[in-house]
């Protein structure tokens, strides 16, 4: 432990509100002294293999010299300057890179602070676009059940209304149109009834729908559902047919996580609005971006307001933009496809969990692996066990999942998988 500045856990417990945690019965927290590569070093001496990539963002691991140098060089020039009326090279360079690697029709970039804000901006874009066209009836969104898009209010309103962590806000949130969650699984046969159901819902509601918002291919925090690309293709076709905008939320899936640079590539479709974040800076700091088409950007700009009504204080933060540029270059320069393929091969070891009676399903895609149990997990209990096994894994609901840094070795994945298997077999949850 850092003797000069030890972590005051009593103060933490009494005064600091951690994510999704009670202040009267808080989940235990473990003090971190430092991180390096794919290791988390606890102040109490344990060294943990990271299976979470800091909520899926630290794709290059921690302390990568390329990202550190980018931050150091930029902080010596300027760490921040307002983006209203000013611009700077890191933002311009980042937007050039984003336009180059995302679907071709996405030509306009709005930089924001976080994933949730990115979704808020996307929703505002969709609503304001139709208003700018003089169409006042398109005031709702359509989205599948089991979705998750963030914790701010507009984002919460398009999360699963019953099974999400936001169900207690029903009555306060705008009411949108929910369609059945995708059922046909990735790699299996697509059930045409799903397309027929979607077509029926579009026909019924399209007059009032500004946009359809979906996490492409993987519904993440709503249940880690890996669905068939044909579902996404169907949504794109129906959006085009019924003049509904398509928002694809790639905050969790972008930058290679599913085996494609962006998950929309699995379905070979292009959205009207794309949300990215998390791995955008390689997990170094918070930054997100909402990309859209010329049609939407010009439509908004020529409307009554004349501007998109949004502008975060830290929009286009130079420090974050510089690190994001370095992270994208680092990813593209590597054989990232082979990296993800090797990780996917290593993650197959988790399929042995299928032999355990408590396991409902094991599924993998790209650098994601999920073990679904038949009962809700006691996070505090299983986390303590994982610490004892020198791994960092944080389950939710009935799911134990891995989204490790791309630099993780096969040996590291095996140790993570062994800890999961043992935790389930010995009922440490």
Q: Tell whether 278 is in a known binding site.
A: yes
> Residue 273's Cα: distance from chain center in Å?
15
Q: Tell whether 313 is in a known binding site.
A: yes
For 283-344, where are the E strands, in sequence order? 288-293
φ, ψ at 248 (rounded to 5°): -105, 120
Q: Tell whether 329 is in a known binding site.
A: no
User: DSSP 3-state assignment of 182?
Assistant: coil
From the candidates 249, 406, 421, 429, which is the catalytic residue? 249
From the candidates 278, 401, 406, 412, which is the catalytic residue? 278
Q: Tell whether 55 is in a known binding site.
A: yes
Cβ count near 1 (within 10 Å): 12
> Residue 238's Cα: distance from chain center in Å?
25
Q: Tell whether 115 is in a known binding site.
A: yes
Contact 403, 52 (CB under 8 A): yes
148 assigned to active site: yes
68 assigned to active site: no
From the candidates 8, 20, 196, 410, which is the catalytic residue? 20
Q: Tell whether 394 is in a known binding site.
A: yes
User: DSSP 3-state assignment of 270?
Assistant: coil
From the candidates 62, 129, 148, 401, which is the catalytic residue? 148
- Least Cα distance to 258 among 99, 417, 113, 366 occurs for 366
Question: How many angstroms separate the CA atoms of 151 and 18, rounded?
Answer: 14
> Residue 63's Cα: distance from chain center in Å?
21
Q: Tell whether 148 is in a known binding site.
A: yes
278 assigned to active site: yes
Tokens of 191: 């059930």
Q: Tell whether 116 is in a known binding site.
A: yes
Which alpha helices (DSSP H) does 169-208 contain, by range? 192-205
Binding residues for substrate: 55, 148, 278, 311, 394
* Positions at the binding site: 55, 115-116, 148, 249, 278, 311-313, 394
Binding-site residues for pyridoxal 5'-phosphate, in ranges, read 115-116, 249, 312-313
| Positions marked active-site | 20, 148, 249, 278
């Amino acid at each position: 432990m850092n003797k000069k500045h030890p972590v005051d856990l009593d103060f933490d417990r009494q005064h600091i509100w951690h994510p999704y945690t009670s202040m009267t019965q808080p989940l235990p927290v473990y003090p971190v002294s430092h991180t390096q590569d794919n290791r988390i070093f606890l102040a109490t001496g344990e060294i943990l293999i990271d299976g979470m990539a800091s909520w899926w963002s630290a794709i290059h691991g921690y302390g990568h010299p390329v990202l550190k140098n980018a931050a150091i060089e930029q902080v010596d020039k300027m760490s921040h300057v307002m983006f209203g009326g000013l611009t700077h090279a890191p933002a311009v360079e980042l937007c050039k890179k984003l336009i180059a690697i995302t679907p071709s029709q996405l030509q306009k970039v709005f930089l924001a602070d976080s994933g949730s804000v990115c979704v808020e901006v996307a929703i505002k874009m969709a609503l304001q676009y139709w208003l700018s066209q003089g169409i006042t009836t398109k005031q709702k969104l359509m989205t599948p059940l089991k979705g998750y898009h963030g914790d701010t209010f507009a984002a919460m309103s398009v999360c699963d209304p019953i099974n999400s962590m936001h169900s207690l806000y029903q009555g306060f949130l705008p009411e949108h149109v929910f369609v059945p969650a995708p059922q046909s699984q990735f790699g299996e046969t697509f059930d045409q009834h799903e397309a027929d159901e979607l077509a029926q819902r579009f026909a019924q509601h399209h007059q009032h729908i500004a946009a359809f918002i979906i996490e492409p291919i993987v519904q993440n925090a709503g249940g880690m559902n890996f669905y068939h690309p044909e579902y996404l293709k169907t949504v794109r076709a129906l959006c085009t047919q019924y003049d509904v905008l398509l928002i694809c939320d790639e905050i969790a899936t972008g930058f290679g996580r599913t085996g494609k640079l962006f998950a929309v590539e699995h379905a070979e479709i292009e959205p009207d609005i794309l949300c990215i974040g998390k791995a955008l800076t390689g997990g170094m700091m918070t930054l997100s971006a909402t990309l859209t088409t010329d049609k939407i950007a010009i439509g908004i700009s020529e409307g009554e307001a004349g501007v998109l009504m949004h502008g975060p204080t830290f929009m286009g933060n130079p420090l974050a933009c510089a690190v994001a540029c370095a992270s994208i270059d680092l990813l593209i320069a590597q054989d990232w496809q082979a990296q993800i393929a090797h990780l996917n091969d290593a993650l197959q070891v988790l399929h042995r969990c299928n032999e355990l009676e408590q396991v409902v399903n094991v599924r993998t895609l790209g650098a994601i692996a999920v073990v679904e149990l038949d009962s809700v997990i006691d996070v505090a209990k299983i986390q303590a066990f994982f610490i004892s096994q020198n791994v960092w894994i944080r389950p939710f609901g009935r799911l134990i999942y891995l989204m490790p840094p791309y630099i993780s070795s096969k040996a590291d994945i095996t140790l993570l998988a062994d800890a999961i298997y043992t935790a389930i077999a010995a009922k440490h949850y």
